[in-house]
Amino acid sequence: MRDDRMGERLLGTEAKDVSSLTGKVWAESKKIWRITFPAMLARVTSFGVFVVTQAFIGHVGGTELVAYSLVQIIGMRFANGIILGMSSATETLCGQAFGAEQYHMLGIYLQRSWIINLVIATILVPVFVYTSSIFKLLGVGDEIAEAAGDIALWFIPIIYYFVFNFTIQMFLQSLLKNNIIGWLSTISLAIHVLLSWLFVYALDWGTPGAMSAMVISNWLGVIGEFVYVFGGWCESTWKGFTWDAFTNLWPVIKLFVSSGIMLCLELWYNSVLVLLAGHMTNATVAISAFSICLNISGWELMMCLGFLTGACVRVSNELGQGNAKAVVFTIEVILGTSIGIGVIRWILCLVLGRQIAYIFTSEEDIAEAVSSLPVLLAFTILLNSVQPVFSGVAVGSGRQSMVAYVNIGSYYVIGVPLGVVLAYVAKLEIQGIWIGMIVGVATQTAVLGFITYKTNWDEQVNKASERLNRCS
């Protein structure tokens, strides 16, 4: 089906023959899940590549597990926060342009995002080249820092993978072409599991085998996305490379920067907490246990980020069309759905508890440390079902700079100081750090919820129109 028939597939207003509240909720839910499920599948499987890598490295050795955990949660979240944050501007612009039926601009916005993010990615490369020295300056032990420096070099191709993967996914989800993203990500994860087993166990390549499997499987997914975009399946939105992508960049750069700051402050929050864990009595056990719980929480969060995508696309589409009332309705339906699923996951986490740790490690002391956190982890999972929806609403309406200020106050004024006090003064160790993290996330969620509730959506419709005019 051609892209110029997208109008009938646009996630617009409710069908005219739906009059009851139940009918409206059902109609809206179908639109939401059409976006959310493939996005959820893509995020879970993409993140799963990194979790599977950690699981294989965890059975290679304890030092290697700590080194990988440090690079992934500190180094990669640093880079991921910047590139994903910058890329979220693509989500805003493409979603609103699609709602306004300015289809020709979507391909131009995609190319502009590549130009900006490729420059940023290249600037970030020295961070991974000098990871060992950076970690030593941060107080990490020499043995772990040296191992982390070797692993960090394998992540350089992943930085450039992020540039194309994030932006193409946001471009395609604006076109309601999430299915292809979900399929490609799932295939990449399956290939990664196979390659990891082959390289680590069959060929006994150890850590280099696990890291090379990660690089190959991730880039195969991006190659598939290139084939789909360039192969004629996006003909009304992708018109080929154009010099127009280099024009009128300043308004786009400003939105990209505010988007980057918003996501960086959020993703770096966990990195700061891991650094705090590195100064515990038994740093190796503390970092390993904390990173395992973060990856469990992170994998679950990837599912919740599907609702972030759903909220962003639905809100941006409706703002582009000028439907303020429809924005409010879609927020209510997405929030109710996400919380309902979050309660189920919360219960499962409380029931499973300690057993989760043995997926990632065979070290008994690390598993014991993880077992002290299941209740806190469960409440983190419950908060994860709410916070991404409000963040998605903010991204869909182009208010990333506002969220950046909220993140500073919630995470770095409240969450981190509280975690330090509880961990070192109250002697709660990693439990104290995690409590501080929960309080920070809860504060952010409450503030964003209040802002969303008080928003004048008619005013946001006008701002969306002005934004498209500036960036076109």
Q: Read off the pLDDT of each residue in 228-238 and give the average, rounded to a whole number.
A: 86
Indicate whether 2 belongs to any domain: no
How many whole angstroms separate alpha carbon 88 and alpha carbon 108?
15
Which string of DSSP letters, residue by residue, matches 59-102?
A: TT-HHHHHHHHHIIIIIIHHHHHHHHHHHHHHHHHHHHHHHTT-
- Higher-confidence position of 162 and 266: 162
pLDDT of residue 151: 92
pLDDT of residue 342: 85
Q: Read off the pLDDT of each residue in 5-10 and give the average, rounded to a whole number.
A: 44
Report whether pLDDT(62) > 80: no
pLDDT of residue 11: 44
Q: Read off the pLDDT of each residue in 292-309 and give the average, rounded to a whole number.
A: 74
Report whether pLDDT(139) > 70: yes
The tens digit of pLDDT for each residue in 157-170 reads 999 999 999 899 88
The tens digit of pLDDT for each residue in 368-381 reads 666 666 677 788 88
CB 47 within 8 A of CB 299: yes
Indicate whether 16 belongs to any domain: no
Indicate whether 254 belongs to any domain: yes
pLDDT of residue 201: 87
- For residue 106, CA distances in Å to 101, 137, 284, 366, 453 come to 10, 43, 47, 47, 30
pLDDT of residue 370: 67
Indicate whether 148 belongs to any domain: yes
Indicate whether 1 belongs to any domain: no
How many whole angstroms separate alpha carbon 284 and alpha carbon 279?
10
The tens digit of pLDDT for each residue in 306-315 reads 888 888 888 8
Report whether pLDDT(343) > 70: yes
CB 55 within 8 A of CB 72: no
Number of domains in the chain: 1
Selection from 24, 54, 15, 37 nearest residue 296 by Cα: 54
Report whether pLDDT(266) > 50: yes
Q: What is the pTM of this model?
A: 0.73
Q: How many CA atoms lie within 13 A of 164 on its CB side?
A: 15
Indicate whether 3 belongs to any domain: no
Q: Read off the pLDDT of each residue in 178-197 and give the average, rounded to a whole number.
A: 90
Buried b (16+ CB within 10 A) or exposed e, 18-46: eeeeeeebebbbebbebbbbbbbbbbbbb
- Higher-confidence position of 418 and 4: 418
pLDDT of residue 91: 75
pLDDT of residue 371: 67
Report whether pLDDT(227) > 90: yes
Indicate whether 440 belongs to any domain: yes
Average pLDDT, the chain: 81
Report whether pLDDT(216) > 90: yes
Report whether pLDDT(217) > 70: yes
Q: Read off the pLDDT of each residue in 316-331 and give the average, rounded to a whole number.
A: 85
Question: pLDDT above 70 covers what percent of the chain?
Answer: 82
The tens digit of pLDDT for each residue in 72-117 reads 877 887 788 788 777 777 877 787 777 777 787 888 889 988 988 8
CB 386 within 8 A of CB 408: no
pLDDT of residue 259: 66
Tell me how long the chain is: 472
Report whether pLDDT(31) > 50: yes
Lowest mean pLDDT among 42-51, 163-172, 253-262, 305-314: 253-262
Indicate whether 124 belongs to any domain: yes
Lowest mean pLDDT among 17-31, 65-79, 149-163, 263-277: 263-277
**Burial class of residue 325 in the structure, from the number of CB atoms within 10 Å of its CB (0-12 exposed, 13-18 middle, 19+ buried):** exposed
Lowest mean pLDDT among 29-33, 59-63, 141-145, 336-340: 59-63
List the domain range (segments joined by +) for residue 47.
Answer: 21-471
DSSP character at residue 354: G
Q: Read off the pLDDT of each residue in 39-67 and give the average, rounded to a whole number.
A: 83
pLDDT of residue 245: 76
Q: Which residues contact 348 (CB under 8 A, 6 or more apart)?
A: none
Determine how many CB atoms are found less than 10 A away from the CB of residue 155: 24
Report whether pLDDT(149) > 60: yes
pLDDT of residue 10: 44
Determine how many CB atoms are found less than 10 A away from the CB of residue 88: 30
Q: Which residues contact 14 (CB under 8 A, 6 or more apart)?
A: 24, 27, 28, 326, 329
Confidence of residue 195 (pLDDT cuts 50, 70, 90): very high
- Higher-confidence position of 144 and 283: 144
